[in-house]
Chains A and B, each alone.
Chain A
Amino acid sequence: MTTATAARPGLATRVTPVEAFRQTLTLTWRNLVQIKHNPMELVDLSIQPIMFVLLFAYVFGPAMAGSVSAYMPILIPGIIVQNALFASMTTGTGLNADVGKGVFDRFRSLPIARSAPLAGRILADTVKQVWSMAILLGVGLLIGFRIETSWLNLVPAFLLLLAFALLFSWASVFIGLAVDAPEKVQIFGFTVIFPITFLSNAFIPVSDRYPGWIRAIMENNPVSKLGDALRGLLVGHPVGNPAGDQPVGGPALTALLWGVAIAAVFVPLSLRLFRRNT
């Protein structure tokens, strides 16, 4: 091993943007190649969404909409949104495991961009998001969901969801840094995300059968806004009214504003935790 002066590479004082990007891609690779050794994660990302689509479609569909196919325009956009929220929790669990196991310290002791570990994780999680969305959509198409507008609309639909998930994942980053075990991030997921996604139009049309206050929550929930935007983009009309018009811009904007608000709360909190820990 040679050590002496050869290893003293000039006096580079910082990482160039190109290097930072390459380091982010390397860490993205690292987060994705993990799946190979942890098949349970693949089950999480694939089989679980498939199971939920099938259970909801065949158990609730006939009761809620009269038939499986009539339920599809409600269910598929709704469950894609729900899945995006749950999937954003993996950012927090992964971060928590890295910090707890000392992997994060190793990264921080390397001459790499400070942002690369987190950026690499988020990018990898985005790839996983796209994977789950594609699976949900594919299963939906197999059992009767129809894109009644244009296939090209899938692009803005995915981008909108990814943008929201990215903003929402800061809540997950915060929880990941605040708790001491990855399981606790999961518990947060179940106790917060389940109510948020069910108090929405993800699985049912909002109607006046609900008490006013529940209805108010349902209508203003970002999950409902995302559901509306997705239905507008992919189905093109409100559920049960083929002649009606389903606006996209308004709900999409409201959902993104929700995302920005969530990030505005959790980015500073997360950065504070980062600093407290160091």
Chain B
Amino acid sequence: MPHAIRADGLEKRFGETVALADVSLSAEAGTVLGVLGPNGAGKTTTTRILATLTAPTAGHAEVGGFDVTTHAHQVRRLIGLTGQYAGVDEMLTGAENLLLIGRLLGMSRKDAKARAAELLERFRLSDAAERAAKTFSGGMRRRLDLAASLVGRPQILFLDEPTTGLDPRSRGDLWEIVRGLTDDGVTVLLTTQYLEEADQLADDIVVIDRGRVIASGTPDALKSQVGGQVLEVTPVRADDREAAAKIVGELAEAAPEIRDALVSVPVADTGVMPAVVRRLDDAGIAVAELSLRRSSLDEVFFALTGHHTDDAAGDPAAREEVPA
């Protein structure tokens, strides 16, 4: 299979700031590549380079077989971009936004209108077609933005954090749409802060941190590397933390971590749970709380890099819903 997207050693500096230090990645045609990383890791900069919006300081990238710096115009004919900040014109209606893109792409007025109506229907925006986009909810705006990026039937689509700030239902909607795209053979590069999102949608994942690729592989390979779930124990007595950490570490065959009153460890096999309960009981450790949950991005990071993400943005539990 030919590579639809391919980047080698991308580097980007803004004055003294290094946004990208070394990013290489590739996506085969018709697959979804998830680019996973915390805020400021370089996800947006990578997307902007691949979408021809900014030139790399060093390195090389090809999209659809064309060099993004020397053949930007050809690349632009193949791609669609949905940015982190929905690039819809708030002063235009839903229909006008799509009509605008269609006309800019050289469609006749009639074709552009038909295409707009088709996309509005597909993204459940028909009722809002004649309303100014400034009156749209956050989820509607993202759907319109995505629709706008699809007007020209792109072969390669860049989605930069398409669900950040959306409520769970809108997020689910967008996931369905992305799955539908790959059924049509579109190659998608999707950036996200959520491990679950990458897990749900991506065929391959690239994890980036501080402008570097720190891991890559299929979601399964990545999860087995870092543990699919996290076991957390909070002993009643703080003195028991070390002992509890030793027990869970042995059973999970991974390095436990102690943070405040909490002992946590990544577990690949959730069948260890009964053994954990038994061993803690045998050791006479009173447990205030014991839980098993999916790894957050933060834990993936800790497992891969030994440091936590700089903020809690990667942890869905700590994230607040942002009304857009």
Contact = CB atoms under 8 A, between A and B. Distances in A.
Interface of A: 1-4, 6-9, 11-15, 19, 22-23, 26-27, 29-30, 33-34, 37-38, 101-112, 116, 278
Given A27-B100, A105-B48, A109-B80, 14 more contacts: A7-B78, A7-B152, A13-B73, A13-B74, A30-B100, A34-B91, A102-B87, A103-B87, A106-B148, A108-B52, A108-B53, A109-B53, A110-B76, A278-B54
Contacts of B195: none
A26 B100 contact: yes
B79 A37 contact: no
A30 B89 CA distance: 9
6 contacts: A7-B153, A37-B134, A108-B53, A110-B101, A111-B76, A111-B105
Contacts of B208: none
Interface of B: 48, 51-55, 71, 73-74, 76-81, 83-93, 96, 100-101, 103-106, 132, 134, 148-150, 152-155, 184-186
Residues of B contacting A: mostly: loop
A111 B77 contact: yes
A34 B92 contact: yes
Contacts of A22: 106
Nearest to A27: B104
B153 A110 contact: no
B78 A8 contact: yes
A2 B184 CA distance: 7
A7 B155 contact: yes
B91 A109 contact: no
A14 B83 CA distance: 24
Contacts of B103: 26
A109 B52 contact: yes
Contacts of B155: 3-4, 7-8
A2 B153 contact: yes
Nearest to B83: A102
A242 to B, nearest CB: 48
A8 B65 CA distance: 12
Residues of A contacting B: mostly: loop
Contact of B89 (A26, A34, A110): A34
A109 B83 CA distance: 10
Nearest to B152: A7
Nearest to A38: B91
A10 to B, nearest CB: 9
The 9 closest A-B pairs by CB, nearest first: A102-B87, A106-B87, A34-B91, A111-B76, A37-B132, A102-B85, A109-B81, A111-B77, A26-B103
Nearest to B150: A1
Nearest to B76: A111
Nearest to B55: A278
Contacts of A11: 74
Contacts of A111: 73, 76-77, 105
Contacts of A104: 87
A29 B91 CA distance: 12
Contact of A106 (B74, B81, B90, B92): B81
Nearest to A112: B104
Contacts of B104: 23, 26-27, 107, 110, 112, 116
Contacts of B185: 3-4
Given A7-B78, A111-B73, A37 B106 contact: no
A101 B90 contact: yes
A24 B184 CA distance: 32
B127 to A, nearest CB: 17
B76 A15 contact: no
B77 A109 contact: no
Contacts of A37: 91-93, 132, 134
Contacts of A34: 89, 91-92
A85 B88 CA distance: 29
B81 A3 contact: no
Of A2, A102, A116, most buried by chain B (CB within 10 Å of CB) is A102
A109 B88 contact: no
Given A26-B104, A37-B93, A105 B81 contact: yes
A105 B89 CA distance: 12
B79 A30 contact: no
Given A7-B153, A8-B155, A105-B81, A278 B92 contact: no
A33 B92 contact: yes
Contacts of A103: 87-89
A22 B153 CA distance: 21
A101 B105 CA distance: 21
Of B52, B53, B184, B186, most buried by chain A (CB within 10 Å of CB) is B53
